[in-house]
Amino acid sequence: MFINKRTNCQPCQTERPSPQNLRLLLSYSKTLSVEIMSELEDLSRARIQEWLEGYHRSSATLDATKWCSEYMTDDTELQYANNPVTKGQEVRDMFAQVFLQLDLMEHEIVYFDYVAPRIYQAARIRYRVKGDMSEQEIVIQGFATFYLQEDEDKVLKCSRAEVYLDPSPLFARIAEKANVDA
C-alpha cells in the first residue's frame, strides 16, 4: 500500500516507488534489521556473560548449597572429567565435600561462546587447599560446557555441565596435606 502524496492519506495503487527509491528502502530495511539483530545478540551475549560471571563468583564463596540452588536445576547432571555422570543431590553432595577441603577456588574466564542452549568456556582455575600453611596456589586449565535453561521465572540455570580438566595436581596436594596432618 502506498500513500498518495497529494492527499497524504488515501492509498493509491497507481503510485509505485521508483527503482532507485525501492533500492534505498530495501537498503535501509536491511541495515535496520542487521542493527536490531546485533542488539539482540549483544543483549543475549551480555546476559550469558553476566550469568557465567555470577556462576563463578558464587562458586568462589565455597558455599555449595547456595551456589547449586542459585545456578543449577534440581535435577542437574555433572560429567566431571572421566568420572561417571552424577545427578541432582549427588552433584550438590560432591561439591559440598570438595569445598570443605578448599580455602580458594577462583575461575578466570579465558574465553566463552554461546550456542543455544550451551556455553562453551575455557578457564584457568586457582585453588588453595584448606589449612595449607605454604598457601601454595594450584592453577589448572579447564574447559566446560554448560547447558542452560530458563526456569518458570526466566532465571537461567544449568541443567547439565561437562567439565574437562586434570585435577590430579589439586588432589595430590590434598593428599600431601592429609599425610602431613596425620
pLDDT in tens, the chain (182 residues): 334 444 444 444 445 666 666 565 555 555 544 443 444 344 488 999 999 999 999 999 999 999 999 999 999 999 998 899 999 999 999 999 999 999 999 999 999 999 988 999 999 999 999 988 888 999 999 999 999 998 889 899 999 999 999 999 999 999 988 887 76
State whether residue 40 is helix, strand or coil. helix
- The residue type of 2 is F
Any idea where the domains of the chain sit in the sequence? 19-181
Beta strand 156-165 pairing with 72-80? parallel
End-to-end Cα spacing for the chain: 86
Find out if CATH 3.10.450.50 is the number for domain 19-181: yes
* pTM of structure: 0.75
The Cα–Cα gap between 65 and 42 comes to: 32
Buried b (16+ CB within 10 A) or exposed e, 1-36: eeeeeeeeeeeeeeeeeeeeeeeeeeeeeeeeeeee
Please check whether residue 147 is in contact with residue 163, taking contact to mean a CB–CB distance below 8 angstroms: no
